[in-house]
Amino acid sequence: MGQAFYVTGTGTDIGKTFFSSLFMAKYARSFKFRYWKPVQTGSSNAGDTEFIRKTTDLPDSFFLKPVYEFVTPASPHYASKQEGVVLDPKHLLNVLTKERKTNTLIEGAGGVFVPLTENYLTIRGIGESNLPVIVIGSTELGTINHTLLTLDALTSRFIPVLGFYLVGQNNPLQADNAETIQRLGGAPCLGITNFPEQKLSPEEFLVFANNHFDTNRNVIDTILNPEDEF
């Protein structure tokens, strides 16, 4: 029996896909994890699934296709309306439920309050899916406020939060940011990884992930053993 988990962020382009790439590069083969972005917007060139496929050089069997995919680079509620597609939250939830007991990283679209439809927010879908969540925040200035707001929104709705992970440019504030969020947010910091200084080949990215991501195994051990405490 496996364990699917949901990756959300404190905002758009905060680093969810970078985190997902690192996770898949390091753990997909050894633990048979698959990557899945059920709702993809802005896919006129290449979506996040294709980006991670190219970054990690993993075969197609490690990826699930989006349930809904839109060309428009906007919130799903707007993109679906622009393209004349009905996004059905019940259908999406049914598909998510079928994958709950498989080793799957599920990446959300944007932050927790992104509307999937005119009156259905992402956070409602996360809660109804009953999936555990990892919150991705930035290493930089402002992350304390944004990450605490996201954690509060999730925990106040009794959504299980496995912890938070910070990604971004190397920043002198990042250690204090992580400690402060952990102390005030009621969720453990699972780690910090800075962006590489240059573009990496898939082989180089694998080495980077092995050396710089989840160095204490907090992420993988928490996902596979969610009842355990640090």
pLDDT digits (tens, 9 = 90+) for 15-62: 999 999 999 999 999 999 999 999 999 876 668 999 999 999 999 999
Reported pTM: 0.95
Instruction: Categorise residue 164: left if φ over 0, alpha if ψ from -120 to 50, beta otherwise.
Output: beta
37 is catalytic: yes
pLDDT digits (tens, 9 = 90+) for 69-128: 999 999 999 999 999 999 999 999 999 999 999 999 999 999 999 999 999 999 999 999
Q: E-strand spans in the chain?
A: 5-9, 34-36, 39-40, 63-64, 68-69, 104-111, 115-117, 120-121, 133-138, 161-168, 189-194
Active site residue: 26, 32, 37, 90, which one? 37
Instruction: Judge contact between 85 and 67, C-beta under 8 A.
Output: no
What token pair was written down for 135? 């919150």
CA distance 152 to 159: 10
Q: Residue 59 burial (CB < 10 Å; 0-12/13-18/19+)?
A: exposed
